[in-house]
Amino acid sequence: MRSDSALPFPTLQVVLPLPLPQWFDYLPPADHSPGADDIGKRVQVPFGSREMTGVVAGIGQTTGDGPELRQALGLLDAAPLLHGELLASLRWLARYTHAPLGEVLGTALPTLLRQGEPMPDTHAWAWRLTALGVEGRERLRQGTRPRRFAELLHEGTREIESRPPRDEDSLDAHMDDWRSAARALSKRGLAERVAVPASTLAPSPQSGPELHAEQQAAVDAILAARGFAPLLLDGVTGSGKTEVYLHAIADCLRRGKQALVLVPEIGLTPQTLARFRQRLGVPVLALHSGLNDNERARGWTAFARGEARVAVGTRSAVFTPLPDAGLIIVDEEHDGSYKQQDGMRYHARDFALVRGKALDVPVILGSATPSLESLHNALGGRYAHLRLGQRAGDAKPPSVRVQDVRKRPLEAGLSAETTAAISSALQAGGQVLVFKNRRGYAPVLMCHDCGWSAQCKRCGTPTKSSPMTVHGAGRRLQCHHCGARQAVPPACPDCGGLALQPQGIGTERIEERLREKFTDVPVLRIDRSTTQRRDALAGHLEKLGDRPGILIGTQILAKGHDLPHLTLVVVVGVDEGLFSADFRAGEKLAQQLIQVAGRAGRAQKPGEVWLQTHHPDHPLLNTLINGGYHAFAHSELEQRQAAGFPPFAHLALLRAEAKHVDAANAFLHAAKSALTAAFPSPAERGAQNIEIQGPIPAPMSRRAGMHRMQLLLSSPSRRELHALLDSALPVIYELREARKTRWSLDVDPLDLY
């Protein structure tokens, strides 16, 4: 009936969580007249033969002359789920990453909300004693968990009506594993779980140490910042950056505002959360990949409703709605886990800055080893540079000793001197961390008779296949790129010989050796193979307690953990990292070394770091050890400038992978033509500041059987680079060659692999 009217009438422009750039037009549901206040609401629509949940991104119009439009089935929200600053920032992110808006919104929303579920209840849970419990509590056996739990609930209260229930967050902070006691009491009718509005929980902060002068200056600078201000908190490990955050957050809470803290993937430990909760005295929402869909949706909603005040979360927590924003903190801002490497490739630190600007609040970037990007901005005066040069309290910086291991006999990678140092550290009652950035038993399995080595059939560089890593005490082979696994063959597949030998050193092999050598202390290996679950690491560390013992680990141990009894850190060879082709390899290695060394001597006991290397004269090691991170960073920045790499140039990487290398190649050639054709005009072409390299094989040119090619765009002008992408991408999406390959665009790629 509408289609015979010549007057235009409004449609809903819908984006769907798909990697498609289009917006889809739908007729509004019956009895609904669309308006601007529908933008940001979720909408159920027919799509092909199925139903999907999308988001209204705009209001269009049609006269009914065009193709027949389908009708939306219904709007799911009375008020927009996405609106204001968050929606505007996400639109910006879609433009910046050149990702479809539907995909960006789909990434930003918690799964349940993306799928169309209603916003969940957001009350907090709390516990209190029942009347029966108040009466019966003293009959519970002294010293047992149920008794301790009952006393905790009873503390300082008389009348049952006036007794505020204890929220679960604060219980976490006061008693380990209170849940089993709670269950036991509730079964007997002595305690009950009650829902309380999250916002009614009163803060009861605990005080921390008195700030030292540098910390105080940093806090003053942060509190003085009104409105948006990027601040780089550049403080050596153990200098008390977290204390600075806590003061800044406490101030934000006093002003009735919300604070968002981002931490790296494996930095969000129960230890960190407990510290935040105790000190701030309010519930602190943890947002990380270990949550189930319900918990995620609840956290997001509690923030959207302004009920929750503080969130500590990993990468995707940057999408948390902040209607009462006061402060954003990015801890360990240099960490690579802030960059999402698939789907919508965004950088949470960079997006945090964009949001901070839009929200007009300060953004603190903290690190002992700032990324060269952030340091460059601080040195150029674009960020305030707050420095903490001293360790807090009585802790002293660790002393570093470089050990030249050329021509020395090594056992499982360890020199005799290193083993002796471990032994004396243990005897003095300390703990030891042995760092080796290679999981598994050995990086290569080789035949001593003919030189054959085990390789992954599906992965490799342009010149050779990737070696399979030896695991399981030498019994299993595994490819760290595609996950392929197989048993170690009984004999050499080439010559039939029996001389198959693991070559090189992985953490498992070091563990085996140290267990043989040090039989009377715990030897714990911590890496991605042993620590699938987040809590597992905390569990391991707890097992160790304050006894002497040895931890062996990969970079998982280099991050954020406070290990007060650690007196010796041994770095077993970093030589692989010294000669990598990746332009960021030096930066990553320097950060890793400083961070892992920074685990030593964080409390009263002084710390020592032993660095074993075959390249004691390598300039990177020299600069780093004699001059520290900043000396290294300055020289690295000079090299980046000379070579035209970030932060002096801006990169975008177009990747393509396909079963047949020709398909990937053909797509990138066509894309390159589209890019070249999109240069404004022949006359201006000479003035273009954009370089296009490729197509060339990716450094990891085969992975999981797919051929991988790439096209690298670089320009000193971010604006010009983006303008070019803006005009060429619509063409690239439509390329015939695009259908035969999987392609993606990575703006500001972290690495070129």
Indicate the helix (H) or strand (E) that contains 70.
none
* Residue 497 binding result from Zn ion, ligand ADP, none, given CB thresholds of 5 to 8 Å by partner type: Zn ion
For ligand ADP, which residue of 17, 34, 238, 607 counts as binding (CB under 6 A)? Answer: 238
* Stretch of 230-238, 319-327, 438-446, 606-614 lying at the interface with ligand ADP (CB under 6 A): 230-238
For ligand ADP, which residue of 239, 272, 374, 453 counts as binding (CB under 6 A)? Answer: 239
* Residue 392 binding result from ligand ADP, Zn ion, none, given CB thresholds of 5 to 8 Å by partner type: ligand ADP
243 binds ligand ADP (CB under 6 A): yes
For Zn ion, which residue of 459, 654, 711, 729 counts as binding (CB under 5 A)? Answer: 459
What is the number of other CB atoms lying within 10 angstroms of the CB of residue 619? 12
- Eight-state DSSP code of residue 259: E
CB of 242 to ligand ADP, least distance (A): 3
CB of 366 to ligand ADP, least distance (A): 7
CA–CA gap between residue 626 and residue 632 (Å, rounded) = 9
CB of 570 to ligand ADP, least distance (A): 21
- Eight-state DSSP code of residue 283: -
242 binds ligand ADP (CB under 6 A): yes
Closest CA to 534 of 241, 732, 273: 273
Residue 564 and residue 416 in contact, taking contact as beta carbons nearer than 8 Å: no
Nearer to ligand ADP, 372 or 395 (CB): 395
Residue 636 and residue 597 in contact, taking contact as beta carbons nearer than 8 Å: no
Residue found by looking up tokens 């077993």 in the block: 572
449 binds Zn ion (CB under 5 A): yes
CB of 657 to Zn ion, least distance (A): 14
Nearer to ligand ADP, 213 or 487 (CB): 213
CB of 204 to ligand ADP, least distance (A): 19
N-to-C CA span, the chain: 56
CB of 209 to ligand ADP, least distance (A): 3
* Residue 690 binding result from Zn ion, ligand ADP, none, given CB thresholds of 5 to 8 Å by partner type: none
- Eight-state DSSP code of residue 419: H
CB of 273 to ligand ADP, least distance (A): 14
Tokens of 356: 């901070």
CB of 246 to ligand ADP, least distance (A): 8
Who's near 317: CB < 8 A, 6+ residues apart?
Answer: 260, 262, 287, 288, 311, 348
What string marks each residue from 375 to 394 as x (binds ligand ADP by CB under 6 A) or -? -----------------xx-
Q: At 653, is the secondary structure helix, strand, or coil? A: strand
Nearer to ligand ADP, 393 or 462 (CB): 393
Tokens of 633: 């960073």
CA 58, 63, 66, 71 torsion: positive or negative? positive
Nearer to ligand ADP, 211 or 704 (CB): 211
Closest CA to 74 of 108, 112, 48, 46: 46
Subset of residues 535 to 594 that bind ligand ADP, contact rule: CB under 6 A: 562
Nearer to ligand ADP, 386 or 729 (CB): 386
Nearer to ligand ADP, 205 or 647 (CB): 205
* Residue 591 binding result from ligand ADP, Zn ion, none, given CB thresholds of 5 to 8 Å by partner type: none
Subset of residues 385 to 444 that bind ligand ADP, contact rule: CB under 6 A: 392-393
CB of 434 to ligand ADP, least distance (A): 21
Q: 213-224 and 241-254 are packed helices; what angle lies between their axes, rounded to 10 degrees?
A: 40
CA–CA gap between residue 177 and residue 548 (Å, rounded) = 26
For Zn ion, which residue of 452, 583, 648, 733 counts as binding (CB under 5 A)? Answer: 452
Strand blocks (E) in 74-178: 74-75, 124-129, 166-167
CA–CA gap between residue 99 and residue 91 (Å, rounded) = 10
Write 358-361 long-range contacts (CB < 8 A, 24+): 358/85, 358/88, 358/89, 358/92, 359/85, 359/228, 359/322, 359/325, 359/328, 360/227, 360/228, 361/227, 361/228, 361/257, 361/325, 361/326, 361/327, 361/328
Indicate the helix (H) or strand (E) that contains 90.
helix 84-97
Nearer to ligand ADP, 236 or 318 (CB): 236
CA–CA gap between residue 83 and residue 299 (Å, rounded) = 18
Residue 30 and residue 23 in contact, taking contact as beta carbons nearer than 8 Å: no
The CA-based diameter of the chain, rounded to the nearest angstrom, is 91
* Stretch of 63-71, 206-214, 294-302, 711-719 lying at the interface with ligand ADP (CB under 6 A): 206-214
Is 252 part of any known ligand binding site? Answer: no
From residue 698, how far is each of 470, 664, 691, 693 by CA, in Å?
A: 25, 11, 17, 12
Strand blocks (E) in 512-562: 523-526, 549-553
List beta partners, residue 453: 446
170 binds ligand ADP (CB under 6 A): no
* Residue 458 binding result from ligand ADP, Zn ion, none, given CB thresholds of 5 to 8 Å by partner type: Zn ion
CB of 589 to Zn ion, least distance (A): 24
* Stretch of 16-24, 146-154, 205-213, 427-435 lying at the interface with ligand ADP (CB under 6 A): 205-213
Subset of residues 492 to 521 that bind Zn ion, contact rule: CB under 5 A: 492, 494-495, 497
601 binds ligand ADP (CB under 6 A): no
* Residue 479 binding result from Zn ion, ligand ADP, none, given CB thresholds of 5 to 8 Å by partner type: Zn ion
- Residues near ligand ADP (CB under 6 A): 209-212, 215, 235, 237-243, 392-393, 562, 602
Binding site, annotated residues for Zn(2+): 447, 450, 456, 459, 479, 482, 492, 495
Report the interface residues with Zn ion, using CB under 5 A.
447, 449-450, 452, 456, 458-459, 479, 481-482, 484, 492, 494-495, 497
Binding residues: 447, 450, 456, 459, 479, 482, 492, 495
